[in-house]
Amino acid sequence: MSIEKFTTATAASKIAEQNNSLYTRQKEALSASALTDKILYAAWPSDADAPHLHAATPVMRDGGHATIDYPTLRVAKENFIALVNFIRSDAAFTCDFLLDLTAIDLLHSPRETDAIENQGKRFRMIYLFRSTKPERRSAALRIEVPVGENEDVPSLVGIWAGANWPEREVFDLFGIHFSGHPDLRRILMPDNYRGHPLRKDFPVKGIGEDYLIEDLLYKRRNVD
């Protein structure tokens, strides 16, 4: 092994060891909190096999073991904000940075367990958080929130202003509403677009451009 490869492997091993130690403290902190009974599901990385950064977990995905290098917590939308505030303020977490957010449409999922894991709800919001502390920047935390067809999920804009546009994107492409969002409207598709392109029941060929013609005719009639 070259010195460069050895150095890289050693650094990855140290990062994995450091992160696993942090995840152990986080698991203990969450277990000792009032939120422990409100967590629907939790997956914590086990000890990583050096020199690999990723930690093997007992989580099953599509018939095989998934590899997760950060904890995953699933919580009902009613307890979502409480959990977010906890991971921001608790010393073991200090997750003060919203890294990303997106959604999954589980309609007609081939995995029978998806319906059970998601409480029978169609959508699942996915959030990634990280601490800005230098020694914790390699660690991350994922929170999942099941969301029903006509349900709202609390907006994070009041906590992180940067959630504004990502939430608008999820609204635009999936049709998920965010309660408390200051300006929830389309951000990628035209304002008069019909439907939400990333839904599983959205037509593969799209909806055509008739809606644009109808809109122009409507405006023309009203102007004339």
Domain of residue 78, CATH code: 3.30.460
Lowest mean pLDDT of 11-25, 82-96, 123-137, name the range.
11-25
pLDDT digits (tens, 9 = 90+) for 171-212: 999 999 999 999 999 999 988 888 999 999 999 887 776 666
pLDDT at 68: 58
* Beta-carbon contacts of residue 74 (< 8 Å; ≥ 6 apart): 39, 40, 41, 42, 117, 143, 144, 145, 146
Total of domains in the chain: 1
pTM of the model: 0.83
Residue 218 domain flag: no
Residue 192 domain flag: no
pLDDT digits (tens, 9 = 90+) for 10-25: 567 788 888 989 999 9
Residue 34 domain flag: yes
Sign of CA dihedral 190, 192, 197, 203: negative
Residue 72 domain flag: yes
Residue 168 domain flag: no
pLDDT at 57: 46
Look up residue 190 and give its amino acid.
P
